[in-house]
Structure formats: structure tokens, C-alpha cells
Amino acid sequence: MPYIPFTDEQKILANSVDLEEFLRMRGEKLERVGREHKLIYYDSSGKHDSITLRGSTWFDHKNQVGGGAIKFMQEFYGMDFQTAVQELLGQRVTPLSHSPPKVSAKEEKKEFRLPETNTNMHRVYAYLIKQRFISPDIISHFAKQHTLYEDKEHHNAVFVGIDENGVPRQASKRSTNSYGNSFRITCQGSDTRYSFAHFGESKRLYVFEAPIDMMSFLTLYPKDWQKHSCIAMNGVYENAVLAALKNHSNLSEVILCVDNDEGGIEAVDRLKDILSENGYTDVKRLAPKFKDWNEVLKAKNGVKALPAVPHKRKEEYLKEVSELGYLKCRPDKLTSQIYATFKNGQYKYLAEYALAGSAFFIDKSCEKDMFAKLRAKLKDEYKPYTDKGKKAQKQRALQECMQEVLRDLKRTACTREQSVLTAKMLYQLADNAVRLSVEEALSVPIQEQCEDIDIISEPEPCMEFG
């Protein structure tokens, strides 16, 4: 294809296309989950629903990759940059029949079969005990339940998810090699609504990313563990968690025990939102001191553990919001102040002026106190899983927000409702300004910080078994 010199505006416009609407027009199947949509597609290995969409952004929870609309077209449809931009701008339409095999519109249900069982579990026991330090009693419990065994062909550890009637519906395999590359894979035809789990009689459900994390936690905190319920998601996808809560009416409290890394930190906010929208509001976060619970178990047994991985974008956002200083709002000067700071790229000052203006329009009698409350609100409401756009996309969002605010400020607020609306727009402007400032800060080396206000490094008393 000949090179097409797209303008920056065209590129930004293409990357801002609403993927949900665009994919529906292409005939793709989407399912709504809370504020997001799942993309449902089939390939030779079966049904897939790990990709979630929100507006122009997407995220593949299985492969831990995401981005804007252009990258989606490149990753999912195998298009080059030129073709992707043309498609998104409506300059050309590639028929679905020309799409790669993994986007097949034919919905084929693959038959689920458990891998053949080996006559013993010697390799699985050796791997889980010697390399992963998991308690033999924990291993034996799941082996007796027939939800953990060793496959005959390759001697992998097989973790089984059963339905409410005890019928196997899902299985994942984990290699037990002590050398070479390890792997884990979900068996063909698995139903993602079920996963490796244990269900007790209490109201509490502990949620983990993987079976080994779950078994490691039970090894670390074995007291009365069978009273409670626990489940491994095989990633950070919510399908099995929602099914478990629906099928077990005693469960009402959810403890998210996902990894202490960028993916896990993002998953906490995302899962909290989805659970809340499904009626589950009693949700807590329990973070391992190291990267995951098996690393904690390794450290306890004298093995060097992988450290926790901080979420740089979240930490920088919280830091910058904390540093926003109060500037007394002068309504007659506000328009010129925010316009000048926007034009000069002074995004921190823009956020300060916008937040001060928001506080003024809410309640000018206690403007300074309201500013502090709004600053705390920015920190509390920030969720990094919603902050996936690149710098150009955030510049576009800030520009659009600026235009709306400037138009609004030209009108005199005559009613309380109008003042509140203006305050909300200025608050959004402050948020967009900080997000763009964070993007610029992350483009240069910064000193890493280790503290995250939303993470606790050790179990709280109310979260311990017993």
C-alpha cells in the first residue's frame, strides 16, 4: 500500500473512534459487562471473551495488552498502520471474510475433555512441594476432591473447575518442569464461568489470579481455611467470580487477593466496579508483600522472591494531585487563567485553577475547604484501568473539555443547578489536566516510589481465617 501522509488530527480522530459502535457495525458480537463490553469471538481453540472495550480503549486480560483504536485494528485484525487508520476514518471497509482466522464469525462450540489422568501424582507433588513450597495437606485436599491431578501424557498439573453439580467444566494445565520454560494453558472447550475453587459455608470469598497463588495463600494461612471460599480466576477476568457469587447465596464479602503488580492493581479497581454493578459492595483488597502469594511463600522458605511492582502511572497521579495548591478563585479572571495555562502547557497550574473554580461554584463561602475535599475526591476516584490512552489522545480529551468549559463560563450561572454543572465540568478539566501532566512526567525518568495508599501488605485481623 502506498504511504498516506495522515495529519495529526486524522490520527487522533482515528484513535478516538468508539470501538463498541465500530465493531457492531462490522458484525462483531459484544456483550455488556457493567460499564464495559466484552468482545466475543471464536477461533480454532474455541470461544474467547477476554477482551473488554470502553469507548475508544480496549484491554486483553489474557495477554495483558491494550490501547487505543488504531492498535486494536493492528493487533486484532493484523492490519498495518495505514490500513487501520483508513478503516477507522471510514475511507475503506475490509469485508469480514478478509479478516484473520481468529475473527471467524462462525460460533463453534469445542467439546471439553479433561486430559487423561496419570496413575500417580509424584511429579505434581514434587513440583508443588519442592519448587512452590505448598503444603502437602493442601495438595492432598484438592487431589481427593479430584480437582487437582497429574496428566498422563506430559505430567502437567491439571487444575479443574466444576459446576454446581460437581461436573468438570473447565481445566487449566501447568507444567511441572524443573528446567526449561514453564507454561500454563486453559484446556480447549473450557467454560470460563467455572474455575479451580473451594466453597465453604461462610460469607467470604477470596479471589486469586491463579491456582498456585490460591494454594500458596492457604499454605500461609491454614487455620480453618475450609470454612471460607476461594477461587482462582486464571488471570484477572471476572467471569468465574460472578458465577461463583450467583451460585452460592451465602457469599456476600469478596477479598481480592490478586498480584501486587500493575495488572493486579488495575484489576482491583476494575473488579470492584463490576462487582458493585452486580450488587456486591463489600469488597476489600488484600495485597501480598511481594509480587504474588507464592513469592511470599518462597521468601518465608528462604528463597529470593520477586518484589512487588508499583503502578507508576497511579503513583504519579496521586503524587501530582497531592501537590495541587489552593489558589483563591477570581471568577472574572478564571477564563483567562485556564486558557493561558492550557496554551502554555502548564497543566499543573491549569488543574489548580480548574479545581479552585470548581470549589468556588460549589460553595464560595468555604472555598478552601471545598478545594481540599475535591482534591481528595480526585485521588479516591482515580482508576488506572480507565487511563489507557496515549498522550495524543489525552491532549485531545483535554482540548475538548477546555472548549466545553470556556463555552460554559461565557454564560452567567443563574441557578444552583447551573453552578453545580459548571463545577462538575471544571472538576473534569482538572482531572484531564493532571492525567496529561502525568503522561509527560512518565516520559522522562522519575524516582520510583514504593508506597500505595490502597494496598495493605499484611492481612488485616478481619481477613484472617478463623
pLDDT, tens digit, 9 for 90 and up, residues 383-428 = 998 887 778 878 888 998 999 999 888 876 678 888 889 999 999 9
3-state secondary structure the chain: CCCCCCCHHHHHHHHCCCHHHHHHHCCCEEEEECCEEEEEEEECCEEEEEEEEECCEEEECCCCEEECHHHHHHHHHCCCHHHHHHHHHCCCCCCHHHCCHHHECCCCCCCCCCCCECCCCHHHHHHHHHHCCCCHHHHHHHHHCCCEEEECCCCCEEEEEECCCCCEEEEEEECCCCCCCCCEEECCCCCCCCCCEECCCCCEEEEECCHHHHHHHHHHCCCCHHHCEEEECCCCCCHHHHHHHHHCCCCCEEEECCCCCHHHHHHHHHHHHHHHHCCCCCEEECCCCECCHHHHHHHHCCCCCCECCCCHHHHHHHHHHHCCCCCCCCHHHHHHHHHHHHHCCCHHHHHHHHHHHHHHHHCHHHHHHHHHHHHHHHHHHCCHHHCCCCHHHHHHHHHHHHHHHHHHHCCCCCCHHHHHHHHHHHHHHHHHHHHHHHHHHHCCCCCCCCCCCCCCCCCCHHHCCC
pLDDT at 179: 62
pLDDT, tens digit, 9 for 90 and up, residues 202-238 = 999 999 999 999 999 999 999 999 999 999 997 767 8
98 has a pLDDT exceeding 60? no
> Per-residue confidence at 102, pLDDT binned at 50, 70, 90?
very low
9 has a pLDDT exceeding 70? yes
